[in-house]
Homo-oligomer: A and B are copies of this chain.
Protein backbone atom coordinates (compact mmCIF):
# COMPACT_ATOMS: atom_id res chain seq x y z
CA UNK A 1 0.00 0.00 0.00
CA UNK A 2 1.41 3.36 -1.05
CA UNK A 3 -1.17 6.04 -0.42
CA UNK A 4 -0.76 9.22 -2.45
CA UNK A 5 -2.17 12.47 -1.10
CA UNK A 6 -3.84 15.00 -3.40
CA UNK A 7 -4.49 18.45 -2.02
CA UNK A 8 -6.71 21.40 -2.87
CA UNK A 9 -7.98 24.52 -1.20
CA UNK A 10 -11.24 26.42 -1.80
CA UNK A 11 -11.85 30.03 -0.84
CA UNK A 12 -15.27 31.68 -0.78
CA UNK A 13 -15.10 35.00 -2.64
CA UNK A 14 -17.84 37.61 -3.15
CA UNK A 15 -21.33 36.38 -4.05
CA UNK A 16 -21.36 32.71 -5.03
CA UNK A 17 -17.85 32.72 -6.48
CA UNK A 18 -15.32 30.22 -5.14
CA UNK A 19 -11.65 30.10 -6.09
CA UNK A 20 -9.99 26.73 -5.68
CA UNK A 21 -6.36 25.88 -6.19
CA UNK A 22 -4.44 22.64 -6.48
CA UNK A 23 -0.68 22.47 -7.20
CA UNK A 24 -0.80 26.11 -8.31
CA UNK A 25 -3.62 25.55 -10.80
CA UNK A 26 -6.76 27.61 -10.30
CA UNK A 27 -10.45 26.82 -10.75
CA UNK A 28 -13.15 29.49 -10.46
CA UNK A 29 -16.63 28.13 -9.89
CA UNK A 30 -19.77 30.22 -9.57
CA UNK A 31 -23.53 29.94 -9.93
CA UNK A 32 -25.71 31.30 -12.75
CA UNK A 33 -27.44 34.68 -12.22
CA UNK A 34 -30.81 32.95 -11.63
CA UNK A 35 -29.26 30.96 -8.76
CA UNK A 36 -27.86 34.12 -7.16
CA UNK A 37 -24.37 33.97 -8.65
CA UNK A 38 -22.53 36.14 -11.15
CA UNK A 39 -22.08 33.38 -13.75
CA UNK A 40 -18.28 33.64 -14.07
CA UNK A 41 -17.77 29.88 -14.17
CA UNK A 42 -19.51 26.53 -14.16
CA UNK A 43 -20.99 25.41 -10.85
CA UNK A 44 -19.75 22.63 -8.52
CA UNK A 45 -22.17 19.93 -9.76
CA UNK A 46 -21.08 20.68 -13.33
CA UNK A 47 -17.41 20.63 -12.28
CA UNK A 48 -17.72 17.13 -10.82
CA UNK A 49 -19.08 15.96 -14.19
CA UNK A 50 -15.99 17.46 -15.89
CA UNK A 51 -13.66 15.75 -13.38
CA UNK A 52 -15.41 12.44 -14.06
CA UNK A 53 -15.40 12.79 -17.86
CA UNK A 54 -11.72 13.78 -17.84
CA UNK A 55 -10.79 10.83 -15.65
CA UNK A 56 -12.75 8.45 -17.88
CA UNK A 57 -10.93 9.88 -20.95
CA UNK A 58 -7.50 9.36 -19.40
CA UNK A 59 -8.21 5.85 -18.11
CA UNK A 60 -9.65 4.92 -21.52
CA UNK A 61 -6.42 6.10 -23.16
CA UNK A 62 -4.28 4.17 -20.67
CA UNK A 63 -6.25 0.91 -20.94
CA UNK A 64 -6.65 1.16 -24.73
CA UNK A 65 -2.89 1.51 -25.00
CA UNK A 66 -2.36 -1.58 -22.78
CA UNK A 67 -4.86 -3.53 -24.93
CA UNK A 68 -3.26 -2.36 -28.19
CA UNK A 69 -6.42 -0.52 -29.26
CA UNK A 70 -5.98 2.62 -31.35
CA UNK A 71 -8.43 5.38 -30.37
CA UNK A 72 -8.65 8.05 -33.06
CA UNK A 73 -10.94 10.32 -31.09
CA UNK A 74 -12.76 10.20 -27.77
CA UNK A 75 -15.50 12.47 -26.52
CA UNK A 76 -17.62 11.76 -23.45
CA UNK A 77 -21.00 13.41 -22.90
CA UNK A 78 -22.11 13.53 -19.28
CA UNK A 79 -25.44 14.18 -17.72
CA UNK A 80 -26.23 14.43 -14.03
CA UNK A 81 -29.71 14.26 -12.53
CA UNK A 82 -30.39 16.14 -9.32
CA UNK A 83 -33.55 17.20 -7.50
CA UNK A 84 -32.79 20.66 -6.01
CA UNK A 85 -35.49 20.28 -3.33
CA UNK A 86 -33.00 17.92 -1.60
CA UNK A 87 -30.30 20.51 -0.87
CA UNK A 88 -32.98 23.13 -0.30
CA UNK A 89 -34.10 21.25 2.80
CA UNK A 90 -36.46 18.41 1.86
CA UNK A 91 -34.90 15.55 3.83
CA UNK A 92 -36.91 12.91 1.91
CA UNK A 93 -34.81 13.74 -1.18
CA UNK A 94 -31.06 13.26 -1.37
CA UNK A 95 -29.14 16.53 -1.98
CA UNK A 96 -26.69 15.03 -4.48
CA UNK A 97 -26.93 13.37 -7.87
CA UNK A 98 -29.57 10.65 -8.20
CA UNK A 99 -27.72 9.41 -11.29
CA UNK A 100 -24.91 10.33 -13.67
CA UNK A 101 -25.00 9.13 -17.27
CA UNK A 102 -21.78 9.03 -19.24
CA UNK A 103 -21.86 8.36 -23.00
CA UNK A 104 -18.54 7.60 -24.69
CA UNK A 105 -18.27 8.54 -28.38
CA UNK A 106 -15.27 6.56 -29.56
CA UNK A 107 -13.71 6.78 -33.00
CA UNK A 108 -11.80 3.56 -33.57
CA UNK A 109 -11.46 0.79 -36.14
CA UNK A 110 -11.15 -1.96 -33.55
CA UNK A 111 -13.79 -4.67 -33.09
CA UNK A 112 -17.03 -4.13 -31.18
CA UNK A 113 -15.89 -6.87 -28.77
CA UNK A 114 -12.65 -5.06 -27.96
CA UNK A 115 -14.49 -1.78 -27.34
CA UNK A 116 -16.93 -3.54 -25.04
CA UNK A 117 -14.05 -5.04 -23.06
CA UNK A 118 -12.32 -1.61 -22.97
CA UNK A 119 -15.42 0.05 -21.48
CA UNK A 120 -15.77 -2.73 -18.90
CA UNK A 121 -12.16 -2.15 -17.83
CA UNK A 122 -12.65 1.64 -17.70
CA UNK A 123 -15.68 1.20 -15.42
CA UNK A 124 -13.57 -1.03 -13.16
CA UNK A 125 -10.44 1.12 -12.92
CA UNK A 126 -11.46 4.80 -13.20
CA UNK A 127 -10.48 6.63 -9.97
CA UNK A 128 -13.14 9.37 -10.15
CA UNK A 129 -15.70 6.86 -11.47
CA UNK A 130 -15.07 4.57 -8.50
CA UNK A 131 -15.19 7.47 -6.02
CA UNK A 132 -18.49 8.69 -7.44
CA UNK A 133 -20.21 5.33 -7.93
CA UNK A 134 -19.04 3.59 -4.75
CA UNK A 135 -18.67 6.65 -2.53
CA UNK A 136 -15.80 7.43 -0.22
CA UNK A 137 -15.24 8.14 3.44
CA UNK A 138 -15.71 11.92 3.70
CA UNK A 139 -14.38 13.38 6.94
CA UNK A 140 -15.30 16.98 7.74
CA UNK A 141 -13.54 18.98 10.42
CA UNK A 142 -13.33 22.68 11.24
CA UNK A 143 -11.32 25.44 12.88
CA UNK A 144 -12.89 28.72 14.00
CA UNK A 145 -10.92 31.95 13.82
CA UNK A 146 -12.28 34.94 15.70
Contact = CB atoms under 8 A, between A and B. Distances in A.
- Of A3, A51, A84, the most chain B CB neighbours within 10 A belong to A51
Contacts of A107: 144-146
Contacts of A7: 46, 49, 77-80
Interface residues of A, number: 107
B59 A87 contact: yes
A81 B131 contact: no
A104 to B, nearest CB: 4
Q: Number of copies of this chain in the oligomer?
A: 2
25 contacts: A1-B93, A3-B81, A3-B83, A6-B79, A7-B78, A8-B50, A8-B77, A9-B53, A22-B42, A27-B27, A44-B51, A44-B55, A45-B127, A45-B128, A48-B132, A59-B87, A86-B127, A91-B124, A95-B125, A96-B128, A96-B132, A96-B136, A101-B141, A106-B145, A115-B144
